[in-house]
Amino acid sequence: MDGFLPAEHGRRRTLKAPIGCVGTGLHSGRRVALTLRPAAAGTGIVFRRIDLGIDIPALFDRVVDTRLCTAIGEGEASVSTIEHVMAALAGTGVDDAIVEVDGPEVPIMDGSSAPFVFLIDCAGIATTAAPRAAIEVLRPVRVEEANGAFAEILPGRENAFDAEIEIDFPNTAIGRQALAMRISAHGFRETLADARTFTLAEDVARLRAAGLAQGGSLANAVVVDGPLVLNPGGLRHADEFVRHKLLDAVGDLALAGAPIRGRFRGARSGHALNNRLLRALFADAANWRMTGLPTMTEGTAATPLRAAAAPAIA
């Protein structure tokens, strides 16, 4: 399987070795140490709060907050701003890993997924003998807001995950942008991985007054003031804004627990709509099915993979 693309005979993948980094939490402003560790086949992606001694599975029904980021867990036992590392793991095709953090937030690094992709490449990826399951979308599912923003997932035309998204920030340097692509390891690395998070200058003071964005700076976010981009180096891509929104969607949809076979479409969607979409998808068993699973003659258990069981709905 190439990144998100569910290959017909794919095998689950994990890291070859542990690797770590240290950075700053975007919203908390706290120093955070993160370590990516290999995990047994079927583990999935699990966030481990080593300061609290708890594990939190990276699944859509464990999401507790979608304001400005995606957070999983419960109360103090939670981890926020997980979307960029989730996108990096999904985009490089890592199925099983432990993400250790010593605080309540993943470090923001440069505001993109590129530093996490670099860590994954340095650690290396190991293919296991366990078959890889995929979630095949069987019928359209859509969620929307009163302002016309929506997110939907549709059956795929091929054994792949295709995604398209549109954003619209009138009267700013962002404007209206759209992007459609097939999510693959190469495509993710070349098109999405280095796209940074962004904000409007007028929102910075409000966010900080609310106790958010305490670790934000021009080193880890693109800041837009009307028609101007305030970062001295400018943009990495002319359409960096919509690239980052699609990166966020890849990270949020990775909380499905297995690669998706289908098509995602979003218009002005964000973390909240992305999570609502997964909850709506799994709310009805007629919407999806697991594919790529071994038959009963190939394994010793009815559900040999963690992702094979129907996700619980919170």
Cα torsion 81, 93, 247, 123 to 10°: value is 60
What are 173's two structure tokens?
A: 């340097």
d(CA 215, CA 185): 30
Nearest residue to 100 via CA among 42, 185, 26, 39: 39
Catalytic residue among 27, 84, 244, 271: 271
Residue listed under structure tokens 């880890």: 220
What are 203's two structure tokens?
A: 């929102």
Is residue 14 within 8 A of residue 65, CB to CB? The reply is no
Determine if residue 273 is left, alpha or beta; phi over 0 gives left, psi from -120 to 50 gives alpha, anything else beta.
Answer: alpha
What are 22's two structure tokens?
A: 């240290």
Residue listed under structure tokens 């962002």: 174
234 φ, ψ (degrees, to nearest 5): 70, -155
Is residue 235 within 8 A of residue 221, CB to CB? The reply is no
154 φ, ψ (degrees, to nearest 5): -130, 160
**Is 271 one of the annotated active-site residues of the chain?**
yes
Residue listed under structure tokens 């693109």: 222
Is residue 70 within 8 A of residue 237, CB to CB? The reply is no
Residue listed under structure tokens 């180096």: 233
Q: Which residues form the catalytic set? A: 271
